[in-house]
Amino acid sequence: MSTPHRLILSLAGILISGSVLAVQPPEAPRPPVAPAPPGKQINVFNGADEGYALVDSSKDSVTTTGSGIDGVQIKHLKETVKGQFLWFRDQGKAYLLQDATLLARINAAWQPTQELGQQMSSLGKQMGAQGKSMGALGKQMSAQGRNQSAAARSESEQMKALGRQQGEVGRQLGQASRRQALASSDSERAAADREVEKLQAKMESLQDQMEQHGDRLAAMNDRDDASMQALSRQMKENGKPMDALGKQMQALGKQQEQASKAADKATRAIIEEALRSGKARPV
């Protein structure tokens, strides 16, 4: 056997016993969960002080802040009070504020948070779309891995079968060579020569097939590797916008936190004003 043949067989052996059989399809990344369909607008902001709820019956909108929110009472008021109102607690007592001027100021205080919320919702939709794109690429990578694994296994199994045949032909060739060497007559020697030539031709044919499978296996790995690398590059490129969107979302989240604190401070100042002026009534 020539040196190139030995090198090809060695390469084939490495491919069979190593990376080819170890190929596992990569797990497809899961796309982000799609945002829930729009329904009631309920904004909740945490706070250590006594809570309040800004309710708009006509828009089915509720914004709550703080603790001690009486959901049952608010639901009852929402069914009986028309338009917008502010429910709040002060020193353990519940109050209702319906003054249009004060409510307008409260709405203005919370307006920045509403705008930021819309921006965050828009970014969330963009991230969802980007996530679906990355998920589709992940599925392609997974399918590519499965196909690569199946095709490589097929080539490897055929090479193993050819190797077994070569082993058997080699055994027969050894026996024929011994008969050739021990032949006591010209006819016996001629018969042994023909058998040796026949087995050598068969061995060469098996070796040619082995090399063809080895070449296909190597080309398959090169092709599949290139395809997988291309998908990986696409995944990386698709990840860049997701990173940028995530940073924007983080920045908006900080702005939302600051805007919420400012709105809460303004609302509590208006609550104190309503209590002093008597525009808030106990409920």
Q: Region 22-40: what's the mean pLDDT?
A: 39
pLDDT tens-place string over residues 144-157: 777 766 777 787 78
pLDDT tens-place string over residues 56-112: 887 777 878 877 788 899 988 988 998 999 999 998 899 999 999 999 999 999 999
**pTM for the complete prediction?**
0.54
According to the model, what pLDDT value does residue 255 have?
A: 92
Q: At what angle do helices 100-182 and 186-277 cross, to 10 degrees?
A: 170
Q: Choose among 250, 264, 245, 252: nearest CA to 43.
A: 264
Domain ranges for the chain, please list them: 127-258
pLDDT tens-place string over residues 222-267: 777 777 778 778 777 777 788 888 888 889 899 999 999 999 999 9
* 93-97 and 280-282 strand pairing: antiparallel
Let me know: does 127 contact 6? Beta carbons within 8 Å. Answer: no
Quote the CA–CA distance of 27 and 218 in Å, as a whole number.
24
For the chain, the first-to-last Cα distance in angstroms comes to 100
Is it the case that residue 172 has pLDDT exceeding 90? no
Quote the CA–CA distance of 181 and 172 in Å, as a whole number.
14
Is it the case that residue 48 has pLDDT exceeding 70? no
Which band of pLDDT confidence, cut at 50, 70 and 90, is reported for residue 273? very high
- Mean pLDDT across the chain: 77
Q: Region 104-132: what's the mean pLDDT?
A: 89
According to the model, what pLDDT value does residue 149 have?
A: 67
56 or 217: which leads in pLDDT? 56
Let me know: does 219 contact 15? Beta carbons within 8 Å. Answer: no
Which band of pLDDT confidence, cut at 50, 70 and 90, is reported for residue 190? confident
